[in-house]
Amino acid sequence: MAASSASHANETARRYASALFDLAEEKGALETVATDLKDVLAMAKGSKDLTLLLESPAFGREEKAKALVALADKAGLGKLVSNFLATMASNGRSDEILDAAGHFDELYARHRGVKRAIARTAEEMTAEQRQKLEAVLAKAVGSDIELETEVVADLIGGIQLRVGSTLIDASVASKLDRMNTAMKGA
């Protein structure tokens, strides 16, 4: 039941994102909306209060809608995103706003012909390392790349790279796990 509920929520978020994408494209505001939604995601990541507002049933739909419109105004977000946040909250979908923002971002990247990649390393990459990795990836996938980086100390060294659904794990932690498994089998 929980998996069915999660997939329904995911589909609902996709529908909202698709509708917003179509409207933003029609209005010539794709870049602005994409930037505003990234700001919403960043605000939610940095604010337990905003996450609580979005997810908690303790706040009513209209209360959430008003709070989100006020937040959008204070943050200088455009009218399309402000209305989008209010509509989702009024329709009882505030807990899916962040998923919808993520889906919009995917649609926008696809629209621009950009592929997304995530590189996880044990230490922060230098600008030069990042540029080299972006160039290699762009050549390998045949399109522009937007590279997101994450520092995960547990990797010890090396890199985990995800492009789309493909994961390449060349981390030291992964190599140690494989060696440990091989030694147990010997």
Q: Quickly state the pLDDT bin for 142 (edges 50, 70, 90).
A: confident
Q: For residue range 27-78, list pLDDT tens digits in order.
A: 999 999 999 999 999 999 999 999 999 999 999 999 999 999 999 999 999 9
Q: Quickly state the pLDDT bin for 93 (edges 50, 70, 90).
A: very high
Query: Domain boundary residue among 88, 110, 132?
Result: 110
Query: Domain boundary residue among 110, 134, 168?
Result: 110
Q: Match 């303790």 to its residue by tokens.
A: 58
75 with 104, same domain: the answer is yes
Show the domain range for 149: 113-185
Q: What is the mean pLDDT of residues 107-127?
A: 92
Cβ-based neighbour number of residue 111 at 10 Å: 12
SS3 (DSSP) at 166: strand
22 with 98, same domain: the answer is yes
72 with 148, same domain: the answer is no
d(CA 88, CA 7): 17
Q: How many domains does the chain have?
A: 2
146 with 60, same domain: the answer is no
What is the predicted pLDDT for the residue at 185?
77
74 with 166, same domain: the answer is no
Q: Please name the residue ranges forming H helices in the chain.
A: 2-27, 30-45, 48-55, 61-75, 79-90, 97-112, 127-141, 172-185
SS3 (DSSP) at 91: coil
Least confident of 64-68, 95-99, 154-158: 154-158
d(CA 167, CA 18): 27
Query: Domain boundary residue among 110, 143, 159?
Result: 110
The pTM assigned to this predicted structure is 0.72
